[in-house]
């Protein structure tokens, strides 16, 4: 599976975030708190959702330490930060170069990430850049469905 290489523009996001680890994955809790309130965000630019991970500089993408903390976001892209619903936060996603993987399958299947970080990245002309990683969950995304489709955006820079 070869990604397309794309430059993502800066984006304004509004949503909710939780700190978690791979061993203590709280993604379900995060989305259960966000989805009932998503319509309170009035200035969204698309109907797509962002599932975003903000990793610390020292994060190990070999995933040998399953207890390393990171922030996970459930968010929507907005035009501005004029009206932020209570208990939601803002985030400015920095633009830059990304490898974009079209993924079809269950979101709980981690094989795609094992391929990206363990096979594709080491043999590519790129390394991970220290910016948020995210998935765009668009119209073809179906939670817990093997026919679900999403885009996985990995921030990269030349080696």
pLDDT given at position 98: 98
* Token pair of 18 as six digits: 């939780």
Rg (CA), the chain: 15
- Is residue 71 scored above 90 in pLDDT? yes
In DSSP terms, 17 is beta-bridged to 73
- Is residue 5 scored above 80 in pLDDT? yes
* Token pair of 51 as six digits: 């599932």
Q: Hey, what domains does the chain have and what are their CATH numbers?
A: 4-158 (3.20.80.10)
Any idea which of 9-13, 51-55, 62-66, 91-95 has the lowest mean pLDDT? 62-66
- Is residue 19 scored above 90 in pLDDT? yes
pTM: 0.94
Q: What average pLDDT is seen over the chain?
A: 95
Count of CB atoms situated within 10 Å of the CB of 104? 11
pLDDT given at position 65: 83
Taking residues 57-79, what's their average pLDDT? 91
pLDDT given at position 46: 95
Question: For residues 90 and 84, what is the distance between their CA atoms, to the nearest angstrom?
Answer: 8
Number of residues that make up the chain:
159
pLDDT given at position 128: 96
């Amino acid at each position: 599976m070869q990604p397309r290489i794309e430059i993502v523009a800066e984006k304004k996001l509004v949503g909710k975030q939780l700190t978690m680890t791979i061993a203590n994955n709280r993604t379900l809790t995060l989305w259960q708190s966000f989805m009932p309130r998503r319509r309170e965000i009035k200035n969204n630019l698309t109907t797509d959702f962002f599932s975003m991970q903000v990793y610390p500089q020292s994060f190990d993408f070999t995933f040998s330490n399953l207890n390393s903390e990171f922030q996970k976001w459930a968010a929507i892209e907005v035009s501005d930060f004029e009206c932020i619903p209570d208990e939601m936060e803002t985030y400015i996603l920095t633009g830059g170069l990304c490898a974009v993987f079209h993924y079809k399958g269950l979101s709980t299947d981690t094989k795609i990430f094992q391929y990206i970080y363990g096979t594709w990245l080491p043999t590519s002309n790129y390394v991970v850049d220290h910016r948020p990683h995210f998935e765009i969950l668009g119209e073809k995304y179906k939670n817990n469905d093997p026919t679900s489709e999403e885009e996985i955006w990995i921030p990269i820079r030349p080696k």
